[in-house]
Amino acid sequence: MSGKEIVEKLSLEEVGRHFESLGYKVIKLEQPWRHMTGLVKFENEKLFVKMATTAGIGERTKNETAWNRNMNSVWNKYATTFKSPKPFDEGYFQDRYWFVGEYVFGKPLVGVTDNNTNISDKDLERAAGIANNLLELSKMVLLPKDVEHFKEVWQERILQVATGWSKSIKGSTKKLLQFIEVNRKEIDIAASHGDFTPWNIMKTKAGQYYLIDAEAAQMAGLMYYDVAYFYHRVYTKLKRPDLAEKFLNIYKEISKWTEKNDKEFAPVLASRIMGGYFDAERDGVTNEELNRQLEVKLLAGEI
């Protein structure tokens, strides 16, 4: 695994003209990385626009659109703790997929680069509640046969991905890889958002919570992946172990956590720690020392 991804630079002027031709008034367009994002208006309604820079990235962007569409239709009654932006329009520009959707008038719980990295107890409780609510969605969608099939697939995939990361990491991850190999049979399947972080949970002035950026969402993902992802990202990327521990304790309380859940959670968190070493060597944000601290705690049975 190289960690590299092909991203093409878009002409914002050309993209803007495309949307103007469709009847949108372009307010703002920018390309921070893999996507061009921005703000447009249609009949005086502010809307969010997102365009993939390549066809490959567009496949994941379509996944986000499908998630948002289902969350606002067939899954709506099951999503009791959060909302997802309503889809409005979708299409292609020079083979690049785009969608237009609801513009959320809110702010993330916290951003990676924010000076103030505090998250209130109320918001941590809601984040834990959303993570728990996501697990419930798969009970409404997956068939028993699906669960057993995907469980076997994930038991192989989690080791394959961890092995790929291990080969691309400079330091030794032998113990962590062995831990994943020994404990992977304990994992289970559930719905997952896939990028469940404080910066992807938007809170409006009215106190509503929106879950955004569902490119990696799966209805047959790893159980507790979102819990592990939030915990790990807050611990190592936000550099707030205190908030990470508080979140995990809140989650365990509301979900009535058991020893069985400990066993299911451990290999999933181990895979995130493995990914954390990969990130720390590349993103300039993830703290390798804190990631190592998490590994020591996990292998010692302290999480």
Q: What is the pLDDT of residues 169-203, one digit of tens each?
A: 999 999 999 999 999 999 999 999 999 999 999 99
pLDDT at 2: 39
Q: What is the CATH number of domain 107-299?
A: 3.90.1200.10
- Region 195-221 average pLDDT: 97
Rounded to an integer, the average pLDDT of 86-108 is 97
Give the per-residue pLDDT at 116: 95
| 4 pLDDT tier (thresholds 50, 70, 90) | low
Q: What is the mean pLDDT of residues 74-91?
A: 97
Average pLDDT over residues 205-215: 97
* pLDDT tens-digit map of 263-286: 999 999 999 999 999 999 999 999
Tell me the CA distances in angstroms from 169 to 155, 214, 253, 268, 280, one per residue in order.
Answer: 22, 27, 35, 18, 9
Q: Of the given ranges (4-8, 189-193, 257-261), which has the lowest mean pLDDT? A: 4-8
Is 250 in a helix, a strand, or coil?
helix
Cα dihedral across residues 260, 264, 269, 270: positive or negative: positive
**Which among 189, 193, 188, 190 has a CA at the least distance from the CA of 82?**
193
pLDDT in tens, 224-244: 999 999 999 999 999 999 999
What is the reported pLDDT for 143?
83
| Domain assignments of the chain as residue spans, ordered by start | 12-103, 107-299
SS3 state of residue 214:
coil
pLDDT band at residue 39, thresholds of 50, 70 and 90?
Answer: very high
pLDDT digits (tens, 9 = 90+) for 114-146: 999 999 999 999 999 999 999 999 888 888 888
Across the range 22-47, mean pLDDT stands at 97
In this prediction, residue 164 carries a pLDDT of 96
Residue 5, pLDDT > 80, answer no
CATH topology of domain 12-103: Phosphorylase Kinase; domain 1 (3.30.200)
Name the average pLDDT for the chain: 95
Mean pLDDT over 6-27 rounds to: 96
What is the bridge-based pairing of β-strands 35-42 and 25-30?
Answer: antiparallel
Reported as a single tens digit per residue, the pLDDT across 48-63 is 999 999 999 999 999 9
Residue 139: its pLDDT value, please?
85
CA–CA distance, 212 with 192 (Å, rounded to integer): 13
pLDDT at 77: 94
Give kind and range of the element (H or E) at residue 142.
none
239 closest CA partner among 202, 268, 198, 211: 198
